[in-house]
Amino acid sequence: MDRSILQELERRSVTEARHFTTSRGLLGILRTGMLLSRRHLGQEDLLRLIAMNNCYRRWDTDWFDYVNLSIQRINGHLYGISSSQWHADEDVWWAVLGFDREVLSHDGVVFATTNNGYSVVSRASGIEGLRALFADRVTTWRSGRIELDRSALSPNQTTCPQAEALYPESLDTSWLRTIYVPQPELADTVEGWFAVTGHTRVDVVADPEVFA
């Protein structure tokens, strides 16, 4: 692990790396004990049957060997498209996985200043890569290049809400600390899935604000 990254995360009061997924994706993650990259997902026979890609279209094909994580808050823009357009007519619900912040300090993690599929993204590893996500100004894309200013943000929020941490290959759920669901009744469903899959129980929290 990179201790300088851990110190920076603590200084900024970052507590979690997050990833949103469908209910079918969550079941697959609990069954295998791994959050798999898109490329590895297709190689896992069990997950072919129960898993579902959050995003139908991805342009960052060179990065299919990485799991996409967000820092402290999910990519609300991408979640909105995934839930209201790409999967709107499917019988699924959504969950957010909260992983221990320590995973961001692991070897091979690459930090992306905005959505990794945008041409204006800047990527780097190590402490400088992490700090770039909290720069005073970050370039992103909204029908053209725009500059985002972080002056109104809290210390644990990335300057661009679409910033990503790219984790290589797969992330073991031994680092999973919390599963967030939008309604209390879904927490009961997840509790039942722990028993069905044999996965170690983690905290399950009903909090619609996490999905905003």
* Strand partners of residue 168: 66
Instruction: Write out pLDDT tens, residues 65-79.
Output: 999 999 999 998 888
Alpha-carbon span 122 to 141, nearest angstrom: 12
Q: What percent of the chain has pLDDT over 90?
A: 74
Q: For the whole model, what pTM was predicted?
A: 0.88
Instruction: Write out pLDDT tens, residues 12-34.
Output: 999 999 999 999 999 999 999 99
Alpha-carbon span 160 to 128, nearest angstrom: 16
Alpha-carbon span 106 to 129, nearest angstrom: 13
For residue 137, give the H/E element and its range: strand 137-141
Q: Which of 103, 102, 54 is nearest to 74 (CA)?
A: 54
pLDDT for the residue numbered 49? 45
**pLDDT less than 70: residues of the chain:** 38-61, 84-90
